[in-house]
Structure 1
């Protein structure tokens, strides 16, 4: 098929709404060569401390180059004392929280002139200790979300490695009295009224597929977004959200929705707590950006870890490009619900918020790319795939495909770490 573009007049979400795929569609004009490789333009206001988005992301790339090296040390046997990282792009600074003696590899890195200041501060707890606390708190999750009783819905390490932040479905005051919170075994900060819903058009893409396009399980209407092209075992595949499919062996179909538009079979993560899957199809290292009707793409230049303090963008098939999104927590474990029924408890998540409380994403964006623009390299760094949002307690007006009874959006989102997904599948990001 030719690379035509279908704009879907629906807002389906995997596991959250039932609509008819392609019930209403309009064909867009084929893209010109200039459309395919335009620079990303961010129209959101620039955060304080910077005069342009180019300046902000230039600083963030310098910082994350060093932060990723620290993450690699933390993942090695000598990195057991690692607590947390907080990035401060406006100050060209990293705050590194470490418990106990630092290994020689870390001392050597900190002694080098990287151009980035690293403030080493003592951590009350290691990442390993905090993760054990999260697992204790999240060990027993009810199958339904109570309409009246307060419940724990998620937990994350505090940014300064001083304990845990626990998310509850109702008010924080009564949440502090919940048995799981009281038995945490370390300091806990409670954040109330958090009951996230799994989120689930851009265009009718074709092989090799790009990230940020529309896809669904063949024969099922609810739609999701493609994430990033990856290679596993020498073959290209497309990364997306695990909750978008029920089982291995199902077939993914692109926005055309017909048998001729089948992308390939699906392989879900064998770990139900990792919200990732692979579509076994030809893919390329590019992602769509712009609104839901766009033909513009940017090349993928690599992948980064996630750090508290980073600014990121989402680019799902339904919402289009959304930026000014700030990372508040990493290594999050969160339970998600649809109409009050538990869908799953996922870990290796990142929690982020739109600074101006505008939409950061919504239904139809699940599995879509989350990235950091790199204006110097002329592309984007892959950092995550969209998992869900809190459109009930913290809604925001949808962008892109209009809101409907089956579509909601939020300024609070969760996404799955690309690095964690690649580690699990043994894959590498495909660059453009």
Structure 2
């Protein structure tokens, strides 16, 4: 199997004071919570939020298990999002119980898009080899035109066996596919080439070849970028945790 590197948990160089903002952004999300926003993990590391949903009447938000399986998650500016309530190391998924509700949206655009522009997610879809997907990470923003090259395989990443992974690679050599710190973020696809967007997975790792980073967050002092993203397909996540996406 190709080289794989878990891409979450970048240590944060500084934790800013909480600053009230009128508009939720990747760096400073607010209730109702969206995917693709910056998370400060229980271990004070940099990760990204995944899709929101419901387990019965409990509002939840997904992220990668290697970002943290217990403790409190906050925004980039220190606002409390919620606490980890459940996880699965093999799927690399942690469920965060929310203080608030999920928005059913994900942040679009660059990592530092101050407008807080978001898109709505409508349901979930299965990945197939050849599909084109986008991912959205708080470290490096949105990347589209990523072509799925493998589905439903397992591999060892940093000593942990991960199951049900899918792969997507860039189709434009001038772009970054994923950066360290994007882990936990959403992978999506357009149903018909328009604005009807499906949930497809949660970012788990960077693979393939390292590439030069460009246009990534300056909140941390350094990161690593890759031409391949490994992600957990959304189907097994919904089944395992009994989640209905918002």
Where 1:411 maps in the other structure, the secondary structure is strand
1:304 and 1:375 map into 2 onto residues whose CA distance is 12
2:82 and 2:193 map into 1 onto residues whose CA distance is 35
User: Out of 198, 206, 213, which is 2:37 matched to?
Assistant: 213
Residues 346-385 of structure 1 mapped to structure 2, 5 A cutoff? 346-357=162-173, 358-374=175-191, 378-385=195-202
The reply on whether 1:283 has 2:107 as its aligned counterpart is: no
Corresponding position of 1:265: 83
Higher helix share: 1
* Cα shift at 1:272: 2.5
* Cα shift at 1:242: 1.0
Residues 173-252 of structure 1 mapped to structure 2, 5 A cutoff? 202-218=26-42, 220-245=43-68, 247-248=69-70, 250-252=71-73
Higher relative contact order (CA 8 A, sep 6+): 2
Corresponding position of 2:231: 415
1:26 and 1:285 map into 2 onto residues whose CA distance is 24
CA separation of 1:326/1:209 partners in 2, compared to 1, >3 Å: closer, same or farther? same
1:398 and 1:419 map into 2 onto residues whose CA distance is 32
Corresponding position of 1:19: 12
Where 1:419 maps in the other structure, the secondary structure is helix
Contact kept, 8 Å, 2:13 with 2:221, in 1: the verdict is no
1:224 and 1:311 map into 2 onto residues whose CA distance is 24
Give the greater-gyration-radius structure (CA).
Answer: 1
Contact kept, 8 Å, 1:314 with 1:370, in 2: the verdict is yes
Corresponding position of 1:330: 151
Higher strand share: 2
Question: Alpha-carbon deviations, 1:395-429, whole Å to 9, x = none?
Answer: 24233315976301111110111111011001111
Q: Return 372-381 or 354-363, whichever deviates more.
A: 372-381
* Cα shift at 1:325: 0.4
Where 2:199 maps in the other structure, the secondary structure is strand
CA separation of 1:21/1:370 partners in 2, compared to 1, >3 Å: closer, same or farther? farther
With normalisation by structure 2, the TM-score equals 0.86
Contact kept, 8 Å, 2:11 with 2:220, in 1: the verdict is no
Contact kept, 8 Å, 1:288 with 1:296, in 2: the verdict is yes
Corresponding position of 1:123: none
CA RMSD in angstroms, aligned pairs only: 2.6
